[in-house]
Structure 1
Amino acid sequence: MKFSILIANYNNGKYFKECYDSIMAQEYRDWEAVILDDASTDDSVRVIKNIIGSDNRFRFFENAGNSGVGITKSKLIELADGDICGFVDPDDAITPTAISSSIKNFRKQDVVLTYSRFMSCNDNLQPVSPFVTRQVRNNDHYFFNYPIQIAHFVCFRKKVYRNTEKMNTAMKIAEDQDLYLKMYEKGKVKFINEINYLYRLHSGGISQNDNKSESYEYFAKVIFSAMKRRGLKKINGNKIPDEYTHSREIYSLLEYQHSIPYRIKKKVIIFIQKIFG
C-alpha cells in the first residue's frame, strides 16, 4: 500500500530541511513525496531542489503562477500515485511512525480517513503543547468537526476521494476542513491516539496570523455546504437557512452540541462504536 506525502509550498523553503528529515526517518518505506510550489517569491525552489537532490521518491512541480491553496492541494492529490494520501506542510514535520500507524488502520477496508494528535511547536520545532483531540462519532449527519477534532496528521484513501465532490479549489482557507467533512460522509474515520505531527508556530504561518476572523467565516461556509450536501432542513428543531448570510447564523445552529447532555450522549455512542466497530 503506497503512501503519498503531499506538500504544498509557498515561501517556506527555509523550514523544509526538518520536514525532509522527518520524511526520510519514516518507519514505513513504501512512500513518495509530491511537492508543488505555488510560485514562491523567495528561494524556496532552489533550497528544496538542493535538499531532495536526485532522490526519485521526491517529485517536484511548480505552478506557473500563484494559484492559492485550494488549487494547489487539488493538483497535489491528482499528481499522487499512492493509495493513501496525507498532507504535510513544508514548515512542519511528522514523527517516524506517523505513516506506519496510519497504514495499519487502512488495512481495514471500511476506514476512509485517519487522524492523530499533534504537538504545537515553537519556531525551532521544539514542543510547546499537545493539541487535545479524541475519536469522533461516526455516521452522524450532524457532525461538522466543530469544535475541531479531525486535524493533523490527516490521511485519506485516494479512491474514496475520487467519489466525493473533491477539493474546493476556490477555498483560500479551511479547504482542509471541507475535504475532511466530504471524506467523513463516505465511511469511517479513525483517531490514532499518538502524536504523529509537529506543528510549527511562526510568524509566517498562513493560519496563525491575521486570518482568524476570515478563517472563522470560511469554516462556517464549509459547514453550511455540508448541511446542504447532506440534505438537512433543520438542526435541533431550528431551520437551516436557504442561503448563506453570516457565520453567526451557522454557528448558532450548533450551540446545542456544547451542552452537557449532548456531550454525554456523544461519549456513550462513541464508546459503543469502539466496542462493536
Structure 2
Amino acid sequence: MSKISVLVAVYNTEKYLRQCLDSLLGQTLDDIEIICVDDASTDSSPDILREYIAADNRIKLITLKENRGQAHARNQALKISTGECIAFLDSDDYLASDALEQIVGTFDRHPTTDAVLFKVINIFPDANETPYPMPEFEQMNGYDAFVDSLTWKIHGVYAVRRSIHLKFPYDETARAFSDDNTTRLHYLNSRHVRLSRGIYYYRQHPQSVTHSISLRRFDYLLANESMKRQLLQLNSSSEILDIYENVRWLNLVDLYMFYYLHRRHFSLDARRQALFRLRHTRLTIETSRLRPSLRHKFGYRVMPSWPLFRLQEELYFFLRSLVGRNRESSQGR
C-alpha cells in the first residue's frame, strides 16, 4: 500500500502531459502510486504514457477503448488504487515538488482529518498566475466544508482518505459537472477538513465547457439533480436539503440567464432541449424549502406555473440588460 494514489485521467493532452508526469515523478515524497487512464486519446498521449511507464514502475496504465469522460476514467483508476489517501491530477495540470509530501504530512499529523485541500494557483493562457481566491483556514468540520463548497468559497482540489472515496466514487451523471457532487459528499462525510501548503497548478482553458457557449452547460442542472437524489438516499438532514434546494434555485436562474444571453447561438432543437432541462429543474425543486427572501425577490420569485416563471425571467434579464446598457452609455460620456 502506498501513502497516496494519484488518479490521472488523460484525453488528448499531449501538449501538457509531460509536465504533468514530470511533476509527479519529481515529488519529494517517493511512496506514491500514479494511475493514468488513457480515455481513448487520439493524439500522441498514449505514446507518452508508455514512455513514462517504461521509465518508472510507480506508474500504472489503464487504457479505455471508448471515451467516456473524466469521472468514468477516474473511477477505473480508483478501483485498482492502493493508497491510504487518494488525490487526482488533471493531465494538463501539475504539482509543486513537495505538494504530495505536504498533503500526506497533514494527514499524518492530524488523524481525524479526512480531506486535505491543496493550495491552488490558476495558470492562464498568458502565463499569468493567480491564487484561487479562498480565505485561509486551518481546520473546519465536514458540514461547514460542504456548505462552503456549494458556492466554491473553498475549492474542490484535494486528497481524501481511501475509505471515504471508495464509499463515494465519482458521480458519472453529467460528464462535465457531476464530479462536483463527489467533492461535496467527501467533505460532508469528513470529520475534519484542512488546508495544506502543497501547491496545485490549475491550468485555465477559455475553450473548456465551463467557459464555452454550449448546450452541455445545462448538464449542470442534471448534476444538481443527481446531488439532491444522493442527499435523499443518505437521509441527509432537512437543514442540508434546505441549503441545497436554495443552491439549485440559484443555479436555475443563472442557467436561464445563460439561455437568455446565448440562445441565438443555438439551433431550434438545442433551444428546446435547454428549455426542457430548465423546466424539468423548475418542477423538481421543492420551493417550500427556499428562503423567504429568495422566494419573493423579483427574478427569483416562485411563480405558480412554468409560463409565468419564464415571463418573469425574460422581463428580469431584459431590464438588467437595459440597466447595463445605460450604465455603459453614462460612463462613455
Cα distance change on mapping 1:236 and 1:192 into 2, 3 Å: closer
The runs of 5 or more residues in structure 2 that have no matched partner are 247-278, 295-333
1:20-57 Cα deviation digits (max 9, x unpaired): 22112212111121100111122211123224433111
CA shift for structure 1 position 12: 0.9
Cross-structure match for 1:246 = 281
SS at match of 2:155: coil
Corresponding position: 1:231 with 2:236 = yes
1:118-174 Cα deviation digits (max 9, x unpaired): 1111237x3431111244842438726221144353101112323x24322333122
Distance 1:257 1:88 in 2: 40
Distance 2:241 2:293 in 1: 9
Corresponding position: 1:22 with 2:27 = no
Cross-structure match for 1:176 = 179
Tell which deviates more after alignment, 53-62 or 195-204: 195-204
Cross-structure match for 1:80 = 81
Cα distance change on mapping 1:17 and 1:210 into 2, 3 Å: farther
Distance 2:225 2:83 in 1: 30
Distance 1:239 1:10 in 2: 32
Alpha carbons 2:172, 2:179 under 8 Å: kept: no
Corresponding position: 1:197 with 2:200 = yes
CA shift for structure 1 position 14: 2.0
Aligned-residue sequence identity (percent) comes to 19
Distance 1:17 1:161 in 2: 27
Cα distance change on mapping 1:101 and 1:250 into 2, 3 Å: farther
1:159-216 Cα deviation digits (max 9, x unpaired): 2323x24322333122322212222232234232536111112355454434583354
Corresponding position: 1:61 with 2:62 = yes
What TM-score does the superposition give when structure 2 sets the normalisation length?
0.65
SS at match of 1:231: coil
The runs of 5 or more residues in structure 1 that have no matched partner are 259-277
Cα distance change on mapping 1:3 and 1:208 into 2, 3 Å: farther
1:54-75 Cα deviation digits (max 9, x unpaired): 3111111101212222221111
CA shift for structure 1 position 223: 4.1
Corresponding position: 1:138 with 2:141 = yes
SS at match of 1:145: helix
Cross-structure match for 1:111 = 113
Distance 1:207 1:153 in 2: 16
SS at match of 2:157: coil
Count of residues paired in the alignment: 254
Distance 1:37 1:202 in 2: 20
Alpha carbons 1:71, 1:170 under 8 Å: kept: no
Distance 1:10 1:184 in 2: 27
CA shift for structure 1 position 251: 10
Bigger radius of gyration among the two: 2
Corresponding position: 1:11 with 2:46 = no
Distance 2:286 2:198 in 1: 32
Match for 1:7: what amino acid? Answer: V
Cross-structure match for 1:38 = 39
Cross-structure match for 2:170 = 167
> Which residues in structure 2 correspond to 1:88-99 (within 5 Å)?
88-99=89-100
Cross-structure match for 1:120 = 122
SS at match of 1:12: coil
Distance 1:215 1:230 in 2: 25
Distance 2:102 2:231 in 1: 32
Distance 1:197 1:46 in 2: 25
1:195-240 Cα deviation digits (max 9, x unpaired): 6111112355454434583354245225423542343446697996
Distance 2:19 2:6 in 1: 15
What TM-score does the superposition give when structure 1 sets the normalisation length?
0.76
Distance 2:122 2:244 in 1: 38
Could you say which structure has the higher helix fraction? Answer: 2
Alpha carbons 1:223, 1:250 under 8 Å: kept: no
Instruction: Please report the RMSD computed on the Cα atoms of aligned residues, expressed in angstroms.
Output: 3.5
Tell which deviates more after alignment, 97-106 or 189-198: 189-198
Match for 2:179: what amino acid? Answer: D
Cα distance change on mapping 1:139 and 1:52 into 2, 3 Å: closer
1:76-106 Cα deviation digits (max 9, x unpaired): 1112121111000010011122111111221
Match for 1:209: what amino acid? Answer: S
